[in-house]
Amino acid sequence: GIQVEQSPPDLILQEGANSTLRCNFSDSVNNLQWFHQNPWGQLINLFYIPSGTKQNGRLSATTVATERYSLLYISSSQTTDSGVYFCAVAPSGGSYIPTFGRGTSLIVHP
């Protein structure tokens, strides 16, 4: 099946810093999502982005499908950004079952 690798596995930031999270995948995809799992365990949708660039406030994401990666940018980080960020991809070619990466654990200190 498709392989999904996220980097870095852990990230510690000071409030106000910027960061870039990466998701690499091993095959062509028909969808890609970024999720934030907050410290209470909720999985929150950030972006549905099989290709291109999207922005939502301080967060933006870019997927370059031909090169098999996606990037999540967090600008001016806040303590509420802490949690785990997951990338999930579904391969093209008929399977609609997403495969999740292991996530990037982010801690933002005040």
Stretch that binds other proteins, among 12-20, 57-65, 66-74, 97-105 (CB under 8 A): 97-105
Site string for other proteins, 20-59 (x = CB under 8 A): ----------xx-x-x-----xxx-x--x-----------
Using only C-alpha atoms, what is the Rg of the chain? 13
Measuring CA to CA, which residue among 93, 77, 6, 81 is closest to residue 37?
81
Q: Contact at 8 Å (CB) between 83 and 90?
A: no
* Spacing of C-alpha 91 from chain mean position: 16
* Residue 108, token pair as written in the block: 């933002």
Closer to other proteins by Cβ: residue 33 or 63: 33
Closer to other proteins by Cβ: residue 82 or 105: 105
Q: How far is the CB of 56 from other proteins (least distance, A)?
A: 14
Closer to other proteins by Cβ: residue 45 or 66: 45
Distance CA 17, CA 13 (A): 6
* Spacing of C-alpha 102 from chain mean position: 10
- Which residues contact other proteins (rule: CB under 8 A)? 30-31, 33, 35, 41-43, 45, 48, 86, 88, 90, 96-98, 100, 102-103
